[in-house]
Structure 1
Amino acid sequence: MIRAITPADVGTVLQLIRDLAAYERDPDAVKATHETLHEALFGATPAAEAVLAEIDGEAVGVALFFFNFSTWSGKRGLYLEDLFVREAARGTGTGTALLRHLARIAIERDCARFEWAVLDWNAPAIGFYKSIGAVAMTDWTIMRVEGDALAKLAA
């Protein structure tokens, strides 16, 4: 079952995010707290949304997403920030169900596209994404400014 999260699910979502960080070989990278995640998902101006995948009432996966905007299409797009399925539930169709659910949201909300990033070493995920019709955007490089560099740029 795929369902939108409620405020009571924030702790579960945070744990799944931490599990994802461990899977991506950076377990100490998560700085989010229950409070900051709750504000981002349920505050006065939510920054993101999330859905949980459950099997027999147990949360086994999460997809956290937000909307961006394409000036070329004049429409917004759905950006998948995090997709994670616990190891025990991999191969059950949970990842596909989460992506299908988000694809339906993208269509319902008139999005021009649905996109995400994947680590280049994550061959299982890349293979999975290609199998559902996703195409790697090889002509684009993701750029980021954070921490001291962000503060310096803003000064």
Structure 2
Amino acid sequence: MIRPCEPGDVPVILRLVRDLAEYEKALHEVRATADDLHRSLFGPSPAVFAHVADDGDGAGVVGFALWYVTYSTWTGRHGLYLEDLYVRPEARGRGHGRALMAELAGVCVERGYARMEWSVLDWNAPAIAFYRSIGARPMDEWTVQRVDGDELRRLAG
């Protein structure tokens, strides 16, 4: 079962975020707290949204998709950026990832969004194969750029 997340899901979503970061060899970079997630998802003006996969067999939430709205000046329409998609290893192969992606595609279609985009680590062959299986294509000409930390503060002046 796929559903929008609820406030009570925040602790398990944070646990899944940490699991994902560990898989991506970046657990040391996770700074988010349950309070941060709760405020972002359920504060007065939420700009981040999440859906969860509930296994329905008593295991509870086994996966999540966290996303936000983007905008393209080229299409003149909003889009959806998938920040994180993760399904626990023991729950994989049961269609949860595909169901989460289908739910987000449905959000796009229902709201008239032009596209859904996300990033994937170039070494994550299982994820890349999954994304190809649902019709995703790489944007080879584009590379992600980032400014953070001291550089961000320096740029801000």
TM-score category (smaller protein):
over 0.9
Q: d(CA) in 2 for partners of 1:31 and 1:78?
A: 24
How many residue pairs get aligned? The number is 155
TM-score normalised to structure 1 length: 0.98
Q: CA deviation at 1:137?
A: 0.1
Partner secondary structure for residue 28 of structure 1: helix
- What is the TM-score of this pair, normalised by structure 2? 0.97
Match of residue 146 from structure 2 = 144
What are the ranges of 5 or more consecutive residues in structure 2 without an aligned counterpart? none
The amino acid that maps onto 1:44 is P
Unaligned 5+ segments in structure 1 are none
1:122 and 2:128 aligned? no
Identity %: 55
Amino acid paired to 2:51: V
Question: 1:44 aligns to what?
Answer: 44
1: distance between equivalents of 2:130 and 2:99?
13
Cα deviation 1:79-102 (Å, max 9, x = unaligned): 100000000011111110110010
SS in 1 for 2:29: coil
- What amino acid is the match of 1:126? I
* Partner AA of 1:6 in structure 2: E
Mapped partners of 1:94, 1:144: distance in 2: 31
Q: Which residue in 1 is equivalent to 2:54?
A: 54
**Aligned Cα RMSD in Å?**
0.7
Q: Which stretches of structure 1, 4 residues or more, deviate above 6 A after TM superposition?
A: none
Q: CA deviation at 1:35?
A: 0.8
